[in-house]
Amino acid sequence: MTHRKIPLVDLHAQYLSLKPEIDAAMATVIKDSAYIRGPFVERFEKEFATATGAQHCISCADGTGAIYIVLRQLGIGPGDEVITTSNSWISTTEVVTQAGARVVLADVEDDFYNLDPDKVEAAVTPRTKAIIAVHLLGQPAEMDRLMDICRRHNLHLIEDCAQAHLAEYKGRQIGTFGVAATFSFYPGKNLGAYGDAGGIITNDSALAGRMRSFARHGSSPVSKHDHIMEGVNSRLDGIQAAVLSVKLPHLRDWNRRRREVAAGYTERLKDVPGVITPKIRPGCEHVFHVYALRLQNRDRVRDALNAAGVSTTVHYPTPLPFLEAYKYLGYTREGLPVIARHQQENLSLPIYPEITDTDLDFVVEIVKANS
């Protein structure tokens, strides 16, 4: 069998394309000893707010903490319920519990893998306080429907944009629909740092002030020694901010290339029996953080790809409601049929801006031969 090493994402190739700028940025932070907060963090916050079209960006230590900060400063806690998708990483849900609220998980859309608004509507109770819409895999969630549900039931809409940097829904940037939106800049994201990093955007100035203070031990905007509340330690460091500032101007081009790679996969695989290629929600701009197929013979295809040196993964091998951590919620596969089926079919293929058409062809031929 022909063997070719193709990673799921190639972070080193990206680094080499920007090596002089990244090395210089990191060296400057070290020279200035600007490790915590400071000018590099402030610069990135302004740049990212501008890129997303938001009035405020509050940087923080990671994307998980970003959601927790939003929940706490919206006053969500004991006795409250928060509805979100059954298909996400546990970071979306664990912070709901840590804030003292109860997680409510809804099934997903068959075509787009995101939160199904019909299932959300059915899950609303008098205790519901918020919906977390996850823009999974780079695909915008169905924001018109979710916003309507939030308006009618007086709920907060929080957007988890960890996988969808600069994706668009009907010509509008995701992250600007809800009261606040959270981002992860984990290294493998479309915009990634060289360690954990996160951020929040909002157009609510009062909320922005509270979140900024809470993330910095409750310090006042005037003095870090004047604590106006008890907070947490969730700060973006200077080196990560400097790296992100170097990368941010390239993000739109990287997203464009991801769409090209995704279109290449889809065109080559569209007529292959047993293969369902990902659909793009009409009127939306998918940024393809992940290219996830659904395969009738998923395990056979995965084994063949891995044997040939092609890295793959499953997003996610065990959906949230079926994890041991959420057994107490009592969800069943019969009650969440779409995600239960997707769990057996999903396979994510390599996708990153630097992947070559030759590598893409190699991956496609293995999928075709084993589907």
**DSSP codes, 35-80:** -BSSHHHHHHHHHHHHHHT-SEEEEES-HHHHHHHHHHHTT--TT-
Residues in a beta bridge with 173: 168
> Do 135 and 167 meet the contact criterion of CB atoms below 8 Å apart?
yes
Secondary structure of residue 300 in the 3-state scheme: helix
Are residues 160 and 110 part of one domain?
yes
Last residue of one domain, picked from the residues 249, 268, 291: 249
Are residues 334 and 222 part of one domain?
no
Are residues 185 and 293 part of one domain?
no
- The answer to the question of residue 92 being in a domain is yes
Last residue of one domain, picked from the residues 249, 281, 313: 249
Range 161-176 average pLDDT: 98
Are residues 352 and 257 part of one domain?
yes
- The answer to the question of residue 96 being in a domain is yes
Q: What is the mean pLDDT of the chain?
A: 97
Is residue 364 pLDDT above 70, yes or no? yes
Residues in a beta bridge with 156: 130
Is residue 220 pLDDT above 90, yes or no? no
pLDDT band for 222, please (50, 70, 90 cuts).
confident
The residue written with tokens 């009618």 in the block is 152
- The answer to the question of residue 286 being in a domain is yes
* Chain center to CA of 224: 31
Sign of the CA dihedral with 41 first, then 43, 49, and 55 last: positive
Are residues 330 and 235 part of one domain?
no
Q: What is the CATH number of the domain that holds 171?
A: 3.40.640.10
User: What is residue 1's predicted lDDT score, i.e. its pLDDT?
Assistant: 60
pLDDT band for 264, please (50, 70, 90 cuts).
very high
pTM: 0.96
Range 98-108 average pLDDT: 98
Task: Give me the number of domains the chain comprises.
Answer: 2
Are residues 172 and 146 part of one domain?
yes
Range 204-219 average pLDDT: 96
Please, which residues have CB within 8 angstroms of residue 38's CB and are 6 or more apart in sequence? 32, 238
pLDDT more than 70, % of the chain: 100
Are residues 244 and 254 part of one domain?
no
Are residues 145 and 80 part of one domain?
yes
- pLDDT tens sequence across 107-140: 999 999 999 999 999 999 999 999 999 999 999 9
**What is the rounded distance in angstroms from the CA atom of residue 159 to the CA atom of residue 176?**
8
- pLDDT tens sequence across 5-24: 999 999 999 999 999 999 99
- The answer to the question of residue 109 being in a domain is yes
User: What is residue 3's predicted lDDT score, i.e. its pLDDT?
Assistant: 84
Are residues 268 and 215 part of one domain?
no
- The answer to the question of residue 24 being in a domain is yes
Range 324-330 average pLDDT: 97
Are residues 205 and 58 part of one domain?
yes
> Do 161 and 182 meet the contact criterion of CB atoms below 8 Å apart?
yes
Are residues 273 and 244 part of one domain?
no
Query: Residue 234: which of 37, 38, 60, 40 has the closest Cα?
Result: 60
Q: What is the CATH number of the domain that holds 326?
A: 3.90.1150.10
Count the neighbouring beta carbons within 10 Å of the beta carbon of residue 16.
11
- The answer to the question of residue 49 being in a domain is yes
Range 186-209 average pLDDT: 98
Is residue 76 pLDDT above 90, yes or no? yes
Structural domain that includes position 90: 13-249
The residue written with tokens 């390599």 in the block is 350
Are residues 163 and 120 part of one domain?
yes
- pLDDT tens sequence across 82-99: 999 999 999 999 999 999
